Structure 1
Amino acid sequence: MKRRSIIKSFAAAGMLAAVGACAQMDDGDDIVDIASSNPDFSTLTAAIGAAGLTDTLRGPGPFTVFAPTNAAFDALPAGTLDMLLMPENKDKLASILTYHVVPGAVTSDQILGKRMNVATVQGDTVRVDGTGGKYGAAVRVNDANVTNADIMATNGVIHVIDKVLLP
């Protein structure tokens, strides 16, 4: 009897998580609006436009975006960003940017204390490590640090990272 109750509890929790992941907020800004309004994401916003991903990231989602700052893009080898922004490299840029996007809205409370490989929209996986760091709770995505978590958008969530993820 206890086993059946445990299974029902897990099933109910799973249903609640699925409904919560699909829920949309009615008011507010989408992922692109938030990125566009923050000067620390001006390079990311330009790259999203150059890759033709603006409409996608304005879509219903939900999406989780690991968003590199301007400083993260500046840390790429010299000339890399300029090369990626060229029209002939649109597909490569789109591949890199969609590597930063995970389907569903994943908040920090779902990550903390866990290590997992997560499939990206691009098709590869990223390694998410929320087991903490030397000075308390910390989350890493591959070799990037999450510096600001849970920026909620109408179509998902943004986590700010300090490096550009390369597939």
Structure 2
Amino acid sequence: MKRTRRGVLRSIGAGTAVAVGGVSTVSAAPPRDGETIADIASNDGRFKILVAALDEADLVETLDGNRQLTVFAPTDASFDNLLSDLGISKEQLLNRDDLAEILTYHVAPGRRDAESVTTSDEVPTLNGAKIYVDGTVLNGGQAKIFETNIEASNGYIHAINGDNVDGAGVLLP
């Protein structure tokens, strides 16, 4: 069955369609079978705080659907660094009014593999802001991508941390 442009745009969502239209390196691949971004993050022991934050902000469903996304996922070590830098507890972080805004700053529309990300100057995010990219360093040193192309049925996860950069490893808008 031949898919029309309109059919493809409907299947990936209006927000992603805008990003796809402006960036040729983003794949608008149809959903694949297998684990979603939310599944992989939940099953990977390095992202426990991220998963708790996604749950608290009611964003698990966003990462569990068919929409193609790319997540820059801070590890628990990154969150621990951020908590120390901010002088707050995990519970205080999870109760922040801007938690959803911070988390959606880590999510880009479209299925962006490592080459697409690392060769871009900036990547748009679901919260409307941009992440600035210099190779594997994000936002001038807030975080560094250390593991790429963790493939999910609905996109990619790129694990980030604060190793070898100035930031804690969590992106802040």
RMSD of Structure 2 on Structure 1 (CA): 2.2
Which of 84, 88, 98 is equivalent to 1:79? 88
Cα deviation, residue 56, structure 1: 0.9
Separation (CA, whole Å) in 2 of partners of 1:147 and 1:28 = 24
What's 2:69 paired with?
63
Cα deviation, residue 115, structure 1: 4.3
What's 1:140 paired with?
137
Q: Which amino acid aligns with 2:138?
A: V
What's 2:129 paired with?
124
**SS at 1:149's partner residue?**
strand
**SS at 1:145's partner residue?**
strand
TM-score (normalised: structure 1):
0.77
CA 141–157 in structure 1, closer or farther in 2 if over 3 Å, else same:
same
What do residues 9-37 of structure 1 show as CA deviations (whole Å, max 9, x unaligned)?
A: xxxxx99x969712135321000000000
Q: Which runs of 5+ in 1 are unaligned?
A: 1-13, 131-138
Q: Which runs of 5+ in 2 are unaligned?
A: 1-19, 162-168
Separation (CA, whole Å) in 1 of partners of 2:70 and 2:53 = 17
Separation (CA, whole Å) in 2 of partners of 1:75 and 1:100 = 17
What's 2:11 paired with?
none
**SS at 1:33's partner residue?**
helix
What do residues 44-103 of structure 1 show as CA deviations (whole Å, max 9, x unaligned)?
A: 0000000000111112121010000000000012215322312xx3x4100000000010
Separation (CA, whole Å) in 2 of partners of 1:19 and 1:122 = 20
Separation (CA, whole Å) in 2 of partners of 1:120 and 1:159 = 14
**SS at 1:22's partner residue?**
coil
Aligned pairs, number: 141
Of structures 1 and 2, the larger Rg is shown by: 1
TM-score (normalised: structure 2):
0.74
Q: Percent of counterpart pairs with the same letter?
A: 42
Give yes or no for the alignment of 1:30 onto 2:49.
no
Is the contact between residue 31 and residue 66 of structure 2 (CA under 8 Å) also seen in structure 1? no
CA 19–122 in structure 1, closer or farther in 2 if over 3 Å, else same:
closer
CA 73–150 in structure 1, closer or farther in 2 if over 3 Å, else same:
same
What's 1:9 paired with?
none
